[in-house]
Amino acid sequence: MKKMPWLLWILLVLTCQNTLAQAPCNLPVNLFPGDSLIICRDTMYNLALPQYPGALYAWSTGATDTGIQTNQSGLYWVQVNDGKCIVQDSITLIFNSFILEPNADSLILLCLNRPAQPLVALGQNILWYDSPIAGIGNPIAPVPSTADTTITYYYVSQTVQGCESPRAAVQVEVIDKPKFELGKNVLIPCGALGVSLQTVPQKYTDYQWQDGTRGPEYIAPNPGTYILRADNICGYHIDTVVTVACDSKCMMFPNAFTPNRDGRNDVFKPSFFCPIEKYHLMIFNRFGEKVFESKSPTEGWDGRYMGKIQGRGTFIYYCIYFDFVLKKDILLKNSVTLID
């Protein structure tokens, strides 16, 4: 057998090597879709590749299957050899435990019977719930009812890269505008330095007294009129109370008057600083005729009887009224002099 010329043999070897080198590689250059992947916490993740015909797999964990399961963050690599080429790729897995709650107000105040707007939360893929842990989320924000003064809780989450965050609680409270009564009048006890004026405080409400003092309670040191204003987001309310000294009389009559229309002491009527809930005044002349009668302490006698100004003289009056300080009916009987 003749030996092949050495030059021809070399050419044949080179041709064969070039043919093997140019054999097509059916494996992708990148086996994984990216360099890193965020995975939801508390899950077991299946890191898998397709089944390439005739390929052998070698993972950094020592596994030789097409995929591995893990719940640990870290760098993972795999080498795939299909007999024609070898491709190696790596990926970093991050099991995320820090998906933050969406940004939402923890407390929202609404006014009774006023229209409400849908709740708002800032984040990705927002879901609203009625429960902190259970239920099916709704991407449509709820609109709270304002029909009653109630407190309602809503819960909202966001989903980032397939991982849902914990649910943030949103408290919605429906309130009414301020309502209170200080009472009609308050008696300052004898020997006391003052009397406490107060109302039951309403949440989310600011209180201010006539002198700028803030708060629902005020120490009134002297007899007089005191005013309290309360404000909240739904409106305001103002109430007034009168304090009365223990040794004061609610009502007093003058002993004379001059109905000459000079603008001074023209009308006979009482002066009072207490509320007069019951009042009846009758005035008689020296003949026993009733010249005037009234059931209102603000209405006085102008000295006329049957349309004529009465002459100088003394008239007898009777008055029955309820005394706020003494807490009983009082009958006053006395005389008044008309000076012309």
Provide the pLDDT confidence category of residue 264 given band limits of 50, 70 and 90: confident
- Among 213, 215, 224, 222, CA closest to 195: 222
pLDDT at 22: 53
- 13, containing H or E segment: helix 6-21
pLDDT at 261: 86
CATH class for the region spanning 251-338 = mainly beta
Give residue limits of the domains in the chain. Answer: 28-96, 107-175, 185-245, 251-338
* Model confidence at 131: pLDDT above 60: yes
Can 28-96 and 251-338 be said to share one CATH topology? yes
Dihedral angle of Cα 293, 298, 302, 308, to the nearest 10 degrees? -40
Q: Give pLDDT tens digits for 10-40.
A: 343 333 334 334 568 889 999 999 999 888 8
Q: Give pLDDT tens digits for 72-92.
A: 999 999 999 999 999 999 999
- Amino acid identity of residue 225, one-letter, is T
Q: What is the spatial distance between Cα 47 and Cα 56, in angstroms, rounded to a whole number?
A: 16
pLDDT at 323: 77
Dihedral angle of Cα 31, 35, 38, 44, to the nearest 10 degrees? 40
pLDDT at 97: 66
Query: Is there a contact between 143 and 116 (Cβ–Cβ < 8 Å)?
Result: yes
CATH code given to domain 28-96:
2.60.40.10
Main-chain dihedrals φ then ψ at residue 88, nearest 5 degrees? -125, 140
Q: What is the pTM of this model?
A: 0.57
Which residues, other chains included, contact 68 with Cβ-Cβ below 8 Å and sequence gap of 6+?
A: 46, 47, 48, 59, 61, 76
